[in-house]
Amino acid sequence: MQVIVHDTPDAVAAAAADLIAAEVRLGTATIGLAGGSTPRATYELLPQLDLDWNGVMLWLGDERWVPPDHPDSNAGMARRAFVDEVGAALVVPDYSLRDPHLAAAAYADVVRPALLTPGLVLLGMGDDGHTASLFPGTDALDVTDRSYVANWVAAKDDWRLTATLPLLWSAQRTVFLVTGNAKAEVVAHVLAGRGDYPAGRVGRGGHNTVWLLDTAAASCLS
């Protein structure tokens, strides 16, 4: 596990964009995208880089159960931030199936051939320690026989579609992007192996886990 601290959120975003660029240039075939404001800042830098996206499949570590044109859609955010501009291939769940369980199962079938060994997976972390849409106390944390599931998140009062722990653990490299004081205490607990935070479970089970933090998120580290 690597922990890399940068001075500002902008520096974290730039470092993450450089890391993604290096993976694309090395021929990484798949990149799992995270939602949220921190990854968006990274994605907005990617069109400025000289990258050939042919042969790279982008997929979603999680998605909110909303129509694709909804402002809360992770796919919509990624498209606006960089996907449409660079012409990359983004595979998204099919909301027209109208049922989150059916959509999650169909998505698993679509991405399974490419994700037998996932390449780079980007993740964020909430101030409750969730990552992707693996929230504390939710059923998806106990799933071991599927790669992608629908997960009811009572704290949000909605359905989320999410990669499961086994899929995230199988990635060749997992990169967490975390910024801000609000997450500093949980970051310290997770990196010290304290508590049963979903982000900690993903990080401990991964093969090559990198944490990119700003100084605020790292402020409780010893």
Sequence spans of domains, the chain: 2-214
Would you say 4 and 209 are in contact if contact means Cβ atoms under 8 Å apart? Answer: no
Q: Check residue 103 and give its pLDDT.
A: 98
Tokens of 148: 């992608």
Q: Give the side-chain half-sphere CA count within 13 A for 127.
A: 9
Of 24, 23, 210, 56, the closest CA to residue 125 belongs to 210
Would you say 147 and 114 are in contact if contact means Cβ atoms under 8 Å apart? Answer: no
CA 33 to chain centre: 5
Please tell me the distance from the alpha carbon of residue 137 to that of residue 222, in angstroms, as a whole number.
Answer: 28
E strand intervals along the chain: 2-6, 30-33, 57-60, 62-64, 89-90, 120-123, 148-153, 158-163, 173-178, 209-214
pLDDT string in tens for the chain (222-residue length)? 999 999 999 999 999 999 999 999 999 999 999 998 889 999 999 999 999 999 999 999 999 999 999 999 999 999 999 999 999 999 999 999 999 999 999 999 999 888 888 999 999 999 999 999 999 999 999 999 999 999 999 999 999 999 999 999 999 999 999 999 999 999 999 999 999 999 999 999 988 999 999 999 999 998
Pick the CATH number of 2-214 from 3.30.2420.10, 1.10.1510.10, 3.40.50.970, 3.40.50.1360: 3.40.50.1360
pTM: 0.95
Please tell me the distance from the alpha carbon of residue 143 to that of residue 42, in angstroms, as a whole number.
Answer: 30
Please tell me the distance from the alpha carbon of residue 43 to that of residue 51, in angstroms, as a whole number.
Answer: 13
Helices (H), 57-163: 74-78, 84-86, 100-111
- Secondary structure letter of residue 134 according to DSSP: B
Tokens of 140: 């998806």
